[in-house]
């Protein structure tokens, strides 16, 4: 019988599978998947770049599972988390000749958000 570190009980089933990982503090186990307890709050603190990475990964996983994801579901870029001061810095950088891609990287924004900021006044 195999014993695992920190567990005095023998593995009675005899399988060699590793024990389940402990759930990190602040997370819950939902159907075998670890999710933060405050999922909405966790999503709210993501910057635009990380949010887009998450959205792309979700679309890829939905495709792998055979679920249809309409292209029209992609929301228009929002500038809601960008302060007025930061928007002014983005516009000033553009006026100074910095390219939108470089501005997006520097400020941690998506290129779409930078374009929206440059269009708005």
* Residue ranges of domains in the chain: 27-73, 84-119
Q: Which helix (H) or strand (E) holds 63?
A: helix 48-64
Neighbours of 89 (CB within 10 A): 16
Neighbours of 103 (CB within 10 A): 23
Percent of the chain with pLDDT over 90: 20
pTM, full prediction: 0.40
Instruction: Decide: helix, strand or coil at residue 67.
Output: coil
Q: What is the pLDDT of residues 47-73, one digit of tens each?
A: 888 888 888 888 888 888 888 766 554
């Amino acid at each position: 019988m195999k014993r695992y570190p920190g567990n005095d009980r023998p593995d009675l089933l005899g399988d060699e599978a590793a024990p389940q990982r402990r759930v990190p503090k602040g997370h819950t186990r939902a159907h075998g998947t670890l999710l933060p307890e405050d999922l909405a709050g966790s999503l709210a603190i993501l910057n635009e770049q990380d949010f887009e990475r998450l959205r792309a990964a979700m679309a890829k996983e939905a495709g792998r599972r055979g679920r249809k994801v309409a292209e029209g579901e992609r929301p228009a870029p929002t500038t809601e988390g960008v302060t007025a001061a930061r928007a002014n810095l983005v516009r000033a950088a553009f006026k100074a000749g910095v390219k939108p891609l470089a501005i997006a990287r520097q400020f941690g924004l998506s290129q779409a958000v930078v374009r929206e900021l440059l269009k708005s006044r």
